[in-house]
Amino acid sequence: MFKKLSVLIPVYNEEKTIKACIDRVLSANTLNMDLEVIVSDNNSTDNTKEILKSIKDPRVKLLFKEKSFTLKQLINADEVFITSSGSLVTPIIQVDNKKINSGKIGKLTKKLSQLYEKQIL
């Protein structure tokens, strides 16, 4: 089925919480999937960038400035969802009355939601 779990963590001025957040993700049960943690820092003005650079785990990939995407790119995505450390995986199936892919919740989004509920709730 799935072989890799990628977790995207967008950050901005999270010096007080980012290390603990990443440590928690790295220690999570990934059900035998390879884990990749992508941290995207949007030009933090505190010490977030320095903290991120000190992390030496090869599973952690760092990006230092978010890349914008167009509405067309969003509509043409296979799946879109929103999540955060304090909320469920929320599928996005339509934007501006335009369906994303088939307009139905995708397989990956369903699986992530199930795993989140099993692990967190």
Say yes or no: 60 and 75 in one domain.
no
Say yes or no: 22 and 61 in one domain.
yes
pLDDT digits (tens, 9 = 90+) for 34-64: 999 999 998 899 999 999 999 999 999 998 8
What are the pLDDT tens digits along the chain (121 aa)? 668 888 999 999 999 999 999 999 999 988 888 999 999 998 899 999 999 999 999 999 998 875 677 888 888 888 888 876 556 788 889 988 889 888 999 888 888 888 877 776 5
Residue 119 to residue 121: CA distance in whole angstroms: 6
Domain extent, residue 44, equals 1-67
Q: How far is CA 77 from CA 2, 37, 93, in A?
A: 19, 21, 10
Q: Maximum distance among all alpha carbons in the chain?
A: 43
Say yes or no: 2 and 59 in one domain.
yes
Say yes or no: 3 and 62 in one domain.
yes
Residue 51 to residue 35: CA distance in whole angstroms: 20
Per the structure, how many domains does the chain have?
2
* pTM for this predicted structure: 0.55
Q: Report the relative pairing of strands 98-99 and 94-95 from DSSP bridges.
A: antiparallel
User: Do 89 and 109 form a contact (C-beta atoms < 8 A)?
Assistant: yes
